[in-house]
Amino acid sequence: MKTLVAIPALNEEITIERVVSAIPRQLNGTQVEVLVVDDGSTDSTVKLAKKAGAQVISHGRNMGLGTAFRTMLSYARENGFDFMATMDADGQFNPEDLPALSEPVINDEADFSTASRFMDPALLPTMPKIKKWGNARVAGLVSNLARIKIHDATCGFRVYGPKAIDRVSCFSRFTYTQEVLIDIARKGLRIKEIPTRVRGEREFGKSRIASNLWRYAHLSAEAMYSVAHGHSPWKFYGTPAFSLIGIGVLLDIFTLCWWITTGAIKPFTAFGIGGLFSITFGILLILFASIADISAANRKMLEEITAMETRRIREKLSTEHL
């Protein structure tokens, strides 16, 4: 059985060689291959990653962390890997924690495991209070959308089992951490958080993702909304649609009754106009829900086809190896 340890990297020449060299080449009985996805580095990241023994795929220009994740996932699928671990190239995660993080997945106790910086109070990292507050708010939002309790939704130190590799989807260009958690949870896969000690701040330089908190919050919310409404289009569009239509009908009935009783619409003209607008917007949202529902069905069909093809490749390579 094979595990891919995949690392996205952008100008990480200071730490990449040390990180790759520290990754064990066997992990809980599986053979390990290290892949570095170079997302447009202009320094010596690629050269040093290869020197340390990693396979390297280069995007040529900066495409974003979400795109890097899809590259890693495609490589794992096309090469028949049973498991995939992801970690950062900046040295915030300790490769020595990989055995503990991967153990429940490799032992089939979970389909997906993720390191949690905030689950155990004794392991809380040192970081600015605003970042701790932001992480807590994001974890709460992801927990609501995923319908399970999540303590740390933004940590990229994770392990994916065969079912997660086969079925996970990610469409965001900017990041993938929250989107993937929601997607895996809504598909009913088993998730386990592992309390892990993680460096709270980068040892060198600034974060490539969270350096601008407002931009990070906006793009993360966009990604979370996209995956959540893809799984529940009628909840996101249908509920407000029928609420608007109901409010509009009540306003217009009230206005009609007032007109029948008094022979005039005033002083409730605004109620009548507002009711018509409310009904109109509700009908538009129903149309959006119908379109989104069709899109979600097509997405599920494509995901099943991808999962079947991934399993076929894994079985074929396993048979050839035997």
pLDDT tens figures, 2-33: 999 999 999 999 999 999 999 999 998 999 99
Predicted TM-score of the model (pTM): 0.79
Q: Which of 174 and 260 is assigned the larger pLDDT?
A: 260
Residue 141 scores a pLDDT above 70? yes
Residues 35, 137, single domain; the answer is: yes
Burial class from Cβ neighbours inside 10 Å (0-12, 13-18, 19+) for residue 294 reads exposed
Closest CA to 225 of 283, 184, 183, 285: 183
End position of a domain, from candidates 195, 216, 231: 231
Q: What is the Cα–Cα distance from 42 to 10, expressed in whole angstroms? A: 8
Residues 129, 238, single domain; the answer is: no
pLDDT at res. 174: 80
Residues 127, 28, single domain; the answer is: yes
Residues 196, 277, single domain; the answer is: no
Question: What's the chain's average pLDDT?
Answer: 88
Residues 101, 146, single domain; the answer is: yes
Structure tokens at 126: 């040192």
Q: For 85-104, what is the mean pLDDT? A: 94
Q: How confident is the model at residue 317 (pLDDT cuts 50, 70, 90)?
A: confident
Calculate what percentage of the chain has a pLDDT beyond 70. Answer: 91
Q: How confident is the model at residue 314 (pLDDT cuts 50, 70, 90)?
A: confident
Domain that holds residue 302: 233-321
Amino acid symbol at 266: K
Residues 102, 239, single domain; the answer is: no
In CATH, what number is assigned to the domain containing residue 141?
3.90.550.10
Residues 196, 107, single domain; the answer is: yes
pLDDT at res. 289: 86
End position of a domain, from candidates 231, 249, 264: 231
Count of domains forming the chain: 2
Residue 122 scores a pLDDT above 60? yes
Residues 217, 286, single domain; the answer is: no
For 66-88, the pLDDT digits (tens) are: 999 999 999 999 999 999 999 99
Q: Which of 214 and 240 is assigned the larger pLDDT?
A: 240
| Residue 4, beta-bridge partner list | 33, 84
For 267-300, the pLDDT digits (tens) are: 888 999 999 999 999 999 999 888 888 877 787 7
Residues 200, 273, single domain; the answer is: no
Letter string b/e over residues 109-140, b meaning 16 or more CB atoms within 10 A of that residue's CB: ebbbbbbbbbbeeeeebeeeeebbebbeebbe
pLDDT at res. 209: 60
Residues 249, 163, single domain; the answer is: no
pLDDT at res. 202: 61
Residues 143, 275, single domain; the answer is: no
pLDDT at res. 68: 94
Residues 211, 260, single domain; the answer is: no
End position of a domain, from candidates 183, 201, 231: 231
pLDDT at res. 205: 61
| Residue 192, beta-bridge partner list | 113
Residue 230 scores a pLDDT above 80? no
